[in-house]
Amino acid sequence: MVELRLSEIAQKIDGKILQGSASHTFHKFNIDSRLTEPGELYFALIAERNGHEFVHSAVRKGASGAVISQKIDTPNKGTAFILVNDTLEALQKLARKVLSEFPVKVIGITGSIGKTTTKEFTFDLLSRKFKVLKSEGNFNNHLGVPLSLLKLTDRHEVAVLEMAMSAPGEIRALTRIAPPDIAVLTNIKPVHLQFLKSLEEIALAKKEILEGTKKDGTAVLNRDDSLISNIAKDWKGKKLFFGLSEDCDVRAHNIQKTGWEGMSFDLIYGKAKAKVHFPFLYESHLYNLLASAAVGYALSMPIKDILVQIKSIRPLSMRGVLVHLKNNIKLIDDSYNSNPAALELALKGLNDLPAKRKIAVLGDMLELGEKEVEYHLQAGKQAAQQGWDILITVGPLSRHMAEGALSAGMRTDQAFTFEDSEQAAEEIWPLLQEGDLVLVKGSRRIKTDKIVEKLRRKGS
């Protein structure tokens, strides 16, 4: 962890020390008083709730100091306090200045779907050759990125950062904190349409990562995504392409599905070529892998190191994990999130797997704006057209999936609707038969993971 004296922190964030020893050191930083650990420096952010209301709670839990922008009572004279104009700006400024003092390569990853998986794959591939820091979990916004950077040490050579957005300007702000040496664009799909009106607007917002990349940096781009090609055509820096197209620097060729074992393909890695077995079921995961391998290629990693690391990669929790239940029932836990593009890929990717019946348990897809009903109707039609045997919908919006499926030829006895995940979790297990394949997928707030938990217990 980075270790900074109170005086250094105050200088970096243009703050004034109100109390505390200038020589006191900090190496842990936090914004959530509930998660405070002893010795931390707590930043009292003002958002939906005012973090200044929880300063004393953080101190009681062991925080040794706090960064504040409002005067508060300071009965404990042993606690350090730094006064700034804006605590969020101070957090971001501290991270930016800390990063500037470490000679690390920054990998910034953005895209509509697959950012977290690509980040994790990139970390796995690069770890054979480099000491890598990665943003933990979904620490991918104006708070998570600076908190991740404050975990840098002098051992790190690479920082792999997920850069998310739901509105224009957000990625630009992240690149000001951490300008990428390598910018990765995975894809552009219809997500966050509650805040952005079209795919073109999403593309322009994603383009901010290129605009914020260092002048001598490299862009790693999905060649098979026409919107990415369009926004990158006038970018002057170095470009590397990944995908299935023949003109990609890193690509997959001769893809063979191997049932429940995943897939195999020839990895083309510059001028090198090797056969790869990849134990994943979705083609989207293949693109995540190719993007990650392209980062390795940009950093001159030999293909032999890439191949060794691929063998250790496994699906992330709640993102396409295969779970074996009793009666030879196979459950695909994809309950972390959902959107139209990701759901379409899941329905298609699992369609050819050997199973007695294919059962899709699908929750609402959120933040889709004025076209939310249309997207849910279309998803239901896709399930029917792809030959899924049973559709179980969870939530008020997903009822439109059932309508779409019925309009595309699914029978009424093949479609079931539930108000919420709690109700669905109680009713689904009796519907299952030996040899079934069950996909569970929904937006995070629908809590379809509760369905997975119940099925695991029933099927253990």
To 5 degrees, how large is the angle CA 145–CA 295–CA 201? 60
Domain with CATH 3.40.1390.10 in the chain: 4-87
Instruction: Give pLDDT tens digits for 337-391.
Output: 999 999 999 999 998 899 999 999 999 999 898 899 999 999 999 999 999 999 9
Q: Which CATH number fits domain 102-310: 3.30.2270.10, 3.40.50.300, 3.40.47.10, 3.40.1190.10?
A: 3.40.1190.10
In whole angstroms, give the CA distance from residue 267 to residue 282.
17
Rounded to the nearest 10°, the torsion over CA 381, 384, 387, 388 is 110
Judge whether residue 74 has pLDDT over 80: no
Residue 259 DSSP symbol: G
Q: Average pLDDT of 232-250?
A: 96
**Placement of tokens 């960064």 in the chain:** 67
Element (H, E) at 454: helix 449-458
With contact defined as beta carbons under 8 Å apart, do 146 and 91 qualify?
A: yes
Give the model's pLDDT for residue 77: 81
User: What residues does CATH 3.90.190.20 cover in the chain?
Assistant: 321-458
- Helix ranges, 127-220 (H): 144-149, 170-177, 199-211
> 321-458 sits in which CATH class?
alpha beta
Please give the pLDDT value at position 139. 87
- The arithmetic mean of pLDDT across residues 67-96, rounded, is 93
CATH of 4-87, one of 1.10.3720.10, 3.40.50.720, 3.40.50.300, 3.40.1390.10: 3.40.1390.10
Name the percent of the chain in helix, strand, coil, to the closest 5: 35, 25, 40
172 contact partners, CB below 8 Å, separation of at least 6: 208, 211, 212
Closest C-alpha to 443, from 366, 375, 370 = 366
Pairing type for strands 329-334 and 437-441 reads parallel
CA separation for the pair 380, 403 (Å, rounded): 7
Q: What φ, ψ does residue 202 adopt, rounded to 5°?
A: -60, -45
Percentage with pLDDT > 90 across the chain? 92
Return residue ranges of the chain for CATH 3.40.1190.10. Answer: 102-310
Report d(CA 99, CA 214) in Å as an integer. Answer: 14
Burial of 168 (0-12, 13-18, 19+ CB in 10 A): middle
Confidence of residue 11 (pLDDT cuts 50, 70, 90): very high
pLDDT at 75 over 80: no
Model's pTM, two decimal places?
0.95
- In the predicted model, what is the mean pLDDT of the chain? 95
Region 235-262: what's the mean pLDDT? Answer: 96
Q: Helix axis angle, 340-349 relative to 283-298, nearest 10°?
A: 110
> What span, in angstroms and rounded, lies between the C-alpha atoms of 328 and 330?
6
Confidence of residue 137 (pLDDT cuts 50, 70, 90): confident
| Angle subtended at Cα 366 by Cα 362 and Cα 370, rounded to the nearest 5 degrees | 120
For the segment 17-62, what is each residue's pLDDT rounded down to a tens digit?
A: 999 999 999 999 999 999 999 999 999 999 989 999 999 999 999 9
Share of the chain above pLDDT 70, in %: 100
Which tens digits make up the pLDDT trace of 252-285? 999 999 999 999 999 999 999 999 999 999 999 9
Residue 290: which of 318, 321, 263 has the closest Cα? 263
DSSP three-state, residue 150: coil
